[in-house]
Structure 1
């Protein structure tokens, strides 16, 4: 099958929705969007990458995790540990030959999963994520603990601060050419996660899909 299918997966804490793109067999890219508002800004872009992968014969999954997307778990009630458990459970259910495709802070969710490889687009540490959340909270004049309308406990903020992307094993880091940080490759493009509204970049998505295909094949 090469179309887009709406499905579900189960983990110890319940059931979450997911979209499947492309074939069910062969290598599968398990996508993780950034946490919080950046997820809304990058979802369309991520789907464009996954559709481009499907056209190249690579299947993929875009799941909701506890507290994200259409999850029945409220954002304020979700924990990083639960999100990681859900990610690991899904990776195990998908079988072997699973590759992470993580954007920004999405790379913080995959650390406990057994994967064939990790592909990160502009990975962000938990400390960097919290700094962004604090700046946005201050700019909006919101009360302590209120982040874009979400109440996040001090315990959750502390857990995020300590989280870092896992970079061992087979890991490829991609960045935009405006980022002055180490990377395996860079591509020109604007950081869509910084836009005030959701946006897309089809040309960049096609280039990134080609990069992923070549990396998996290698």
Structure 2
């Protein structure tokens, strides 16, 4: 189901954002942090399938929208990575999550100290590199020549549109400096652990039931190792 949650905005205000919630009263609740930008679109249906499987396995989950995401009314160009981190930490507290599953650059938004899994994590610079390359290729096909260095300089100075996403200068600069750092309380899941071709590399959004099953199997195995008892909340 979808619910609205009070997402913090700059200045101490809050605004309603949507969240997909799978809630059956289980002891574990996983905060699902999707990839950023186009990769989020590519994996949206796959992550919904993972959440349904987690529910059948006795694990609740929640995937919150943040300002500038999906149907949010907040302009993407005004967002920052630090603001998203703060909002994701607020979502973790609001929904009472016990773990987090972060995918790709979503690993940059994991709240401090929250255990869980980082699936094929990447840093901000690596993500921007792919978006810059896509823009230069599109420009070349349109008969223009643009260099990645020049585009990046524009992004730092005034913001830039990459692959249809309008990134403001603050977000662009923060992403450039955001490195993924493994956390000892979190398990890194490589694509080779899941098998199959990465869905974010496909031309169109798609799902893969075998990959969803494999990901859920890793999550539930970790949880059963942490707490081999009942998955239900105590009365």
Report the TM-score, using the length of structure 2 for normalisation.
0.81
1:160 maps to: 175
Three-state SS of the structure 1 residue aligned to 2:24 is: coil
1:174 maps to: 189
In 2, Cα distance between the equivalents of 1:155 and 1:94? 28
2:8 maps to: 12
**CA shift for structure 1 position 17:** 0.5
In 2, Cα distance between the equivalents of 1:150 and 1:44? 20
2:161 maps to: 146
Higher helix share: 2
1:128 maps to: 126
Three-state SS of the structure 2 residue aligned to 1:167 is: coil
1:101 maps to: 101
Larger Rg: 2
- For structure 2, the 5+ residue unaligned runs are 10-14, 152-159, 226-235
**CA shift for structure 1 position 166:** 4.5
Three-state SS of the structure 2 residue aligned to 1:210 is: helix
- For structure 1, the 5+ residue unaligned runs are 178-185
1:180 maps to: none
Three-state SS of the structure 1 residue aligned to 2:190 is: strand
Contact 1:22–1:55, Cα closer than 8 Å, also in 2: no
Contact 2:6–2:17, Cα closer than 8 Å, also in 1: yes
**CA shift for structure 1 position 36:** 0.5
In 1, Cα distance between the equivalents of 2:161 and 2:102? 26
Report the TM-score, using the length of structure 1 for normalisation.
0.87
> Residue by residue, what CA displacement relative to the aligned partner does 1:36-86 show, whole Å, maximum 9, x if unpaired?
111000011111111110000100001111111211112222211111111
- Report which stretch shifted further, 19-28 or 139-148: 139-148
> Residue by residue, what CA displacement relative to the aligned partner does 1:83-107 show, whole Å, maximum 9, x if unpaired?
1111000111122x52111110111
